[in-house]
Structure formats: C-alpha cells, structure tokens
Amino acid sequence: MEIFILPSEEAIGKAIADRIEEVFTARPQANLGVATGSSPLPTYRELIARVAAGRLSFKDSHFFMLDEYVGIAEDHPERYHNVIHTEIASQVDVKPENVHGPEGNAEDLQVAVKEYDQLIKDKGGVALQILGIGSDGHIAFNEPGGSLVSRTHVDTLTKQTRVDNARFFDDDLSKVPTHCVTQGLGTIMDAEELCLVATGANKAEAVAQMVEGAISAMWPATIMQMHPNAKVFLDEAAASKL
Ligand code: GLP
C-alpha cells in the first residue's frame, strides 16, 4: 500500500485525477470504477474540468459503480445510479449506456448480482477503482464481519451506516433503506489499481486499522493490504492515528 498525506481535499482530488489521466491516456479503452459518498467529489470536479479542457476522455470507457440501495425509488436523488449520473457521468463524455451499477430493484436480485460480476469481467475489468471508506472500515457496502473474498451480493446495512447516511434521507432513520447490493471485496480486489480517499478525523481509526491493523473481516478495508497496487490518499486529520 502506498500512502499519500496531502494538505487538502483539492490536492487529493488533483493527485487522483493525475493518476487517472495517466492511465486513461495510455489506455483510452480502460474502465473506471466510481464510488459514491463525499470523498470522491474533489476528484470528480478535477475529472470534469480535464474532460472539458480536452485533456482526458471517457468516450471509449465503461464506468462501474460499487453499490446501490435495495428498494429505493428509481427517481430518488439518493439512489446511487442517480448520484453517479449527477456527480460525474452526466458531466463527462462517457456514453450513458456504458455506465453500470448493481441493480437494487431487480426482480431476482440473486441473478442480478451474478450478472453484474460477469458484466465487469466481460467488459475487460476495472483498470482503476476510486474508493471511500466508512467510519467502521467498510468499503462500498461491505460491512464488518462479512467475507473478505465475496463477489457482488445482497447485504444488510449496519445500524451505524444507516445512522451515518440518515442525513441524506431527511435525518429520518426510518426512511434509510435496510438492504443494499454491493460489489464484494473479492470483486473490488480484482481491479488493477485501487485509489482510496479518506479525509477528516472521523476516518482516522478506520485508516489506522486499514494501514497498520491485522487483516480482519472486522475491518473490511484491511484487505487492501493484499492488493499489489493500492494507493491511499489522506489529509492530516485522517492520517492522525498512523
Ligand atoms: C457509503 C458508501 C461508501 C462510501 C461511504 C463513505 O456508505 N456506500 O462507498 O465510501 O459511504 O462516504 P463518505 O465519502 O461520504 O464519507
């Protein structure tokens, strides 16, 4: 794992965008793994500016999302398909039909999750995956106690994650979905390169565990230690317990 401690969220966004520009300039048909949450937003702002400036293009790429809520209304602004559309996909030149995510409203979720894993493989896999981390060390929606080698699957959200995300649902816990579909840690580990962002003091414990702790399902992000090309981008606060 390579650790970068940078002075601001903007500096982190620029550093990851630099890396994406390098990879996608060399391989214009590479696929990008996109994440929801606030952590990737400075990176998205940089990517949008660079595509607008003609420095970078995703016209031959596929975007693969990490996760989605189960049973959320198709037009809900917090449905992750809609979040990714708004924050990045609609503002760069990726083709709308090339933006993919696990389907949380499929009639048969068990079939849909298998098809999603297969689709990623069929399109050539993910060259670079952007990641955030939950305060409990979850990645995508792989919560503590789950398998470290799982594939895309249906999962139950922990109380902590539902409380953390209630701010997006009128601060009303009863409106936060209880289940999700998520790429498994095994699926995520198949990406050629991982770029994880963590900022703020509330991520410091999860970051310390991820970087220095023993690999354990109780801190799902610790599996990153096994990846041959994992980069972790931190601000001072998130790095404060290292
Ligand atoms: C959610 C998402 C994760 C994300 C996490 C942290 O639980 N499913 O993919 O990493 O939130 O979000 P933030 O970056 O806003 O702290």
Would 172 be classed as within a structural domain?
yes
Q: What is the pLDDT of residues 160-206, one digit of tens each?
A: 889 989 999 999 999 999 999 999 999 999 999 999 999 999 999 99
Domain assignment present for residue 190? The answer is yes
- Nearest CA owner, ligand 1 atom 1: 37
Nearest to 57 by CA among 14, 24, 96, 99: 24
- DSSP-derived 3-state class of residue 69: strand
In this structure, is residue 240 part of a structural domain? no
pTM of the model: 0.97
Domain-embedded: residue 107: yes
Whether ligand 1 lies within 6 angstroms of the CB of 67 is answered as: yes
Statement: residue 237 has pLDDT above 90:
yes
State the DSSP H helix or E strand holding residue 84, giving kind and residue range, or none if neither: helix 80-87
- Work out how many domains the chain is built from and give that number: 1
In a domain, 226, yes or no: yes
- Render pLDDT for 3-22 as a digit per residue (tens, 0 to 9): 999 999 999 999 999 999 99
106/184 Cα distance (integer angstroms): 18
Which of 138, 143, 158 is the pocket-test mutation for ligand 1 (most atoms within 8 Å of CB)?
Answer: 138
What are the CA-CA distances from residue 47 to residues 93, 178, 234 (Å)?
11, 32, 19
Residues with a catalytic annotation lie at 67, 136, 138, 143
Whether 9 is covered by a domain: the verdict is yes
d(C-alpha 66, C-alpha 138), whole Å: 12
Q: Which atom of ligand 1 is nearest to the CA of 132?
A: 10
For residue 178, the one-letter residue type is T
For residue 164, what pLDDT is reported? 87
Q: What is the edge-to-edge ordering of all strands in the sheet holding 153-156?
A: 67-69, 179-182, 153-156
38: CATH: 3.40.50.1360
**What confidence score (pLDDT) does residue 93 get?**
98
Q: Is 34 helix (H, G, I), strand (E, B) or coil?
A: strand
pLDDT at 88: 98
Residue 165 lies in a domain: yes
Check whether 223 has a pLDDT greater than 90: yes
pLDDT for 48-99, tens place per residue? 999 999 999 999 999 999 999 999 999 999 999 999 999 999 999 999 999 9
- Residue 132 C-alpha to ligand 1 middle, in angstroms? 5
Q: How far is the CA of 112 from the centre of ligand 1 (A)?
A: 23
